[in-house]
Amino acid sequence: MSVVNVMESVVIERLDSLLADADCCKCERCKGDMLAMALNSLKPKYVNSHKGELFSRIDATKYQNTIDIDVAVAKAIEVVSSSPHRD
Ligand SMILES: [Zn+2]
């Protein structure tokens, strides 16, 4: 029995999309920092992983254009890219 956070796949999608236009480091480490920061500032959306794949597709469409997600992702890009690779 386990659950998945469907917000994660939505944020990954938005992060890739917003990073395409951003002039900053796009290595795996920075993207990981951005992903964690954005997800920490958003309300998670957990579903039973048994139904996870179906739900994540529905929810991805539903949340794709949510302004809160873009704001959180844009903020995470800004913060991480202003001091990349810090420990
Ligand atoms: Zn980097």
Q: In this predicted structure, what is the pLDDT of residue 54?
A: 64
Instruction: Spell out which residues have Cβ within 5 A of ligand 1, the ion.
Output: 25, 27, 30, 84
Structural domain harbouring 30: 3-82
Average confidence (pLDDT) over 15-28: 95
Distance 28 CA to ligand 1 centre (A): 7
Residue of higher predicted confidence among 35 and 67: 35
Distance 85 CA to ligand 1 centre (A): 6
Q: 65 in a domain, yes or no?
A: yes
Domain count along the chain: 1
Residue of higher predicted confidence among 29 and 62: 29
Q: 87 in a domain, yes or no?
A: no
> With 0-12 CB in 10 A as exposed, 13-18 as middle and 19+ as buried, what is 2?
exposed
Q: 66 in a domain, yes or no?
A: yes
- Structure pTM? 0.82
- d(CA 73, CA 12) in angstroms, rounded, equals 9
- d(CA 72, CA 10) in angstroms, rounded, equals 12
Distance 22 CA to ligand 1 centre (A): 13
